[in-house]
């Protein structure tokens, strides 16, 4: 079911965690001391490279759908849909947000996933074409990786962009809030507050 995009959607904590037993704090301390270090899940802050906007340098692109609404309501909650505010979206240059390698290409939806190491990935969807689909090929931050289009969203060309973490690229994937080196920090973003980024 699609959520409306008219109001900000934020995670709501409905109740405080409660201590079920009197010895819970000790149990938690032991967990923190001995178990947690063995798990070594990278946090987004540790794993994330500095991201560049995936749109052409200096060209205004408008966010038409943000977080937690419309089609962005599952693992891909922290996604952006972008259209060219200054010209044609169809055929617009899509750039690699960070140095990485081509992880996958899905022709039916025009989706490229780039791997940036440390289990951090970026995804670019609905593209009409890809410069290369060769798995493992290195791409430099800012390099053209393809052209925007309307695959799997026929008649509604836009670039869907998601950054996510995943153990070795396997499911489940977990999208992360976006921050771009051009000066956009988007901890929460919804379509009702549309902005143009460049």
Tell me how far, at minimum, the Cβ of 152 lies from Zn ion, in Å. 10
User: Any contact of residue 175 with Zn ion (CB under 5 A)?
Assistant: no
160 lies in the binding site for Zn ion (CB under 5 A): yes
Q: How far is the CB of 73 from Zn ion (least distance, A)?
A: 10
Neighbours of 3 (CB within 10 A): 15
> At closest approach, how far in Å is the CB of 126 from Zn ion?
8
Q: Does 62 bind Zn ion (CB under 5 A)?
A: no
Residue that has been written with the tokens 């609404």 in this structure: 69
Q: The tokens of 61 are what?
A: 């692109």
Closest approach, Cβ 169 to Zn ion, in A, equals 20
The verdict on whether omega for the bond into residue 4 sits within 30 degrees of 0, i.e. cis, is no
Closest C-alpha among 22, 87, 23 to residue 55: 87
Residue 66 binds to Zn ion (criterion: CB under 5 A): no
Size of the site for Zn ion (CB under 5 A): 2
The β-bridge partners of 111 are 106
Write out the two tokens for 159.
């670039």
CA distance 4 to 43: 30
x-or-dash pattern for Zn ion, window 104-143, by CB under 5 A?
----------------------------------------
User: Which residue, 81 or 119, is less far from Zn ion as judged by CB?
Assistant: 81
Q: How far apart are CA 175 and CA 78, in angstroms?
A: 5
Cα–chain-centroid distance for residue 7? 21
Q: How far is the CB of 67 from Zn ion (least distance, A)?
A: 10
Cβ count within 10 A of residue 30: 10
Q: Which residue is nearest to Zn ion (CB)?
A: 160
Give the nearer residue to Zn ion in terms of CB position, either 63 or 139: 63
Q: Which is nearer to Zn ion, 1 or 45 (CB)?
A: 1
Q: How far apart are CA 88 and CA 96, in angstroms?
A: 20
Instruction: Give whichever of 81 and 147 is closer to Zn ion, judged by the CB atom.
Output: 81
Closest approach of Zn ion to the CB of residue 79, in Å: 5
Interface with Zn ion, residue 81, by CB under 5 A = yes
Closest of 113, 130, 123 to residue 176, by C-alpha: 123
Interaction site with Zn ion (CB under 5 A): 81, 160
């Amino acid at each position: 079911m699609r959520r409306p995009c008219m109001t900000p959607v934020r995670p709501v904590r409905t109740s405080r965690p409660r201590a079920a037993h009197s010895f819970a704090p000790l149990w938690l301390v032991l967990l923190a001391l001995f178990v947690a270090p063995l798990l070594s899940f990278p946090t987004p802050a540790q794993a994330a490279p500095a991201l560049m906007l995936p749109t052409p340098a200096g060209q205004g692109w408008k966010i038409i759908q943000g977080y937690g609404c419309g089609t962005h309501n599952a693992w891909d909650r922290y996604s952006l849909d972008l259209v060219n505010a200054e010209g044609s979206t169809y055929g617009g240059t899509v750039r690699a947000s960070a140095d990485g390698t081509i992880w996958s290409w899905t022709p039916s939806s025009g989706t490229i996933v780039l791997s940036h190491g440390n289990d951090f990935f970026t995804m670019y969807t609905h593209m009409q074409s890809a410069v290369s689909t060769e798995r493992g090929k290195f791409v430099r931050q800012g390099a053209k990786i393809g052209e925007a289009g309307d695959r799997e969203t026929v008649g509604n060309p836009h670039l869907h962009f998601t950054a996510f973490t995943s153990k070795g690229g396997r499911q489940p994937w977990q999208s992360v809030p976006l921050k771009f080196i051009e000066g956009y920090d988007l901890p929460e973003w919804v379509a009702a507050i549309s902005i143009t980024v460049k």
